[in-house]
Structure 1
Amino acid sequence: MTYAISVELTTTPKEKPSHHKQAFGTVFTDHMFILDYDASKGWHDPRVVPYQPIELDPAAKVFHYGQTVFEGLKAYLTEDQRILMFRPNKNIQRLNLSNQRLSIPTLDEGLVMEALKQLVLVDRDWIPSEPGTSLYIRPFVIATEPVLGVAPSLQYKFMIILSVVGSYYAEGINPVSIYVEPKYVRAVAGGVGNAKTAGNYAAGLKAQDEATLKGYSQVLWLDGVHRKYIEEVGSMNVFFKIGDKVITPALNGSILDGVTRNSVIQLLQHWNIPVEERALSIDEIVEAHRSGLLTEAFGTGTAAVISPIGSLEWQEEQLVIGEGATGELSKRVYDAITGIQLGNVEDPFGWTVELPLS
């Protein structure tokens, strides 16, 4: 199917930054994509326009009732100058699942894919080439109807913006220290924990602030009912290597179905490494550590890909994992996924989408 997307090019292009020094999410490219919705027309007027502020009524429902969802993915420039996106279909599918959970009209997935491609191609000169760098892609939907009243909006904007990002590990992969959060919870089954919506992230800020003051990089979230089953680490999914198995919490309605999480599971299965998706308690982690079976732990997400965990604090006990160093499996997974993303190794799963340059 052919999609008619209008393109208006900027007349005042920005100066491009030094990519390798760029902090995450602070510099944006010259253009953005916009698609409008109202109940009478549906989704309409797809367009690429110069990057600019948007005007919203103070009564727009996104400000008052939090009706918004978003995604995050990346585009990469390979050594032979090809442009690859990593698993955009998974992000688009998840965006619509989040839309459904937040009572937002679903999007035509083919149109979203075409919008991603066209916007990235318009701003292709912004894609950095330095090792570890990429073009971060942020699609999002906001409710724009200017009505105070708790009901789904009748008007929305779907937008895509692009941001140049430097290497997440400019000085190499360093394991992080994690505080197991005993008081706050991120989400509960039946809520919106499995949707990528802004409120989930706002709900984690207080715990993150307190963990930072204690000297920790992130928090390990426990479930909101029993307060003992592991869910996520910060805003990432989490994996533990116990004995010869790798275990990650099962998707239970409060855990986000991460694209990197899914990729790691497929890789482990491809390598014939046993991987289990199941309930995993903090007590089991403590026991595995004491018995010497817990040898690695790592978070997974779009920004970092793999974030090794060097230690956990639980009930004033420090659990040092793998002598606090990056584990062999963590490094192998990181190298495999980033190699596929950059087109340096074979992609046996068909994960990457190459953008046509002609």
Structure 2
Amino acid sequence: MPLVTARFVERAGDNATDGIAKPACLPWRVGCCIVAAVRELDGRRLNMSDHEVVPVLPPVKERLIEFYVRNRIPFILEGPPGTGKSLAARYWVKRITGTDAVKIDITEDTELTHVLGDIDWKKLLAEASQGGANGGPADFTELYGRYYVPSAAVRAMEEGRVLLIEELDRCGRDTLFPVFFDMIEYRTTYVPALQREVRAAEGFSCIITVNRDTDTGTVRLPDALLRRCRRVFIPMPDPETEVRIVLANVPDAPERLVRRAVAAVQKLRRMEVEHVPVPSETVQWVMDVIGMFGPDAGGDAEQLEAAIAAVCKSSEDEQAFRSAIRTAEGVARGDAWGVRRR
């Protein structure tokens, strides 16, 4: 099935940045898209902060995600790293609900307090000691509520927003899964810091992103979680789709360059390499070649090898990458996959 692609929609307005200094030479990653803060193409200066990244999904995926988000049905977006799962989730939540998803990142170090919030103990104890000094007993129940610091998950529940749980399969503690069971199925959770249950407001739902089981550092999701969620799989793209992904991100890129880069990456994914390039890295590779050799770069072997650092992340893979680049020169000639610019 096709992968998430993207296109840029130019918005009216000035070229002001968001106030954060971003070096022009560094790409900024958004899901399966690599976005350059400032890029020079065809003699004109592009400020990518003036573009909205819009994921374009296969119709069946679009209908599924729209249906699930609109009806607040929890679901899992699964796929290899770098295939645009988070980008798709954020975009569709914003489009359908009108608000941004509340995101929580899960790692092997994530603890219960990261998911359910905690008390600001320093401030609480300071006030409690002051109350004791004044001769009256401290009301800790009232103090807990006053100095409770809600987590992103609890905030999403209280505000009735969609909670985006990123990379739940990197969870290092089995005790966290039951917390999400209750959030997903009953839209409630017990918060130990408050010593009470929190019930989600209308509109709350969960979207979970996970990588494939073969990805290093991931764990298998429990069946109890899978029973509570739908599952949408986003695979690596086929050649035609990946060409469209690159052209959507870098509209001025020569198709000959794009085809050669995609052909090389597609071959590499069938080889035994330490690091398998993902679509976002293919986009970065093409952008680097254009940045180094100009907007008319044809993507010959020498040019692709010069920018190989965008996709080759292991010294042990370098020979395999160079071989794939040489092979791609022949594969990518002509209109090999019948992909035309729209």
TM bucket, shorter chain: under 0.3
Q: TM-score with structure 1 length normalisation?
A: 0.23
Structure showing the higher helix proportion among its residues: 2
Larger of the two Rg values belongs to structure: 2
TM-score with structure 2 setting the length: 0.24
Q: Which structure carries more relative contact order (alpha carbon 8 Å, separation 6+)?
A: 2
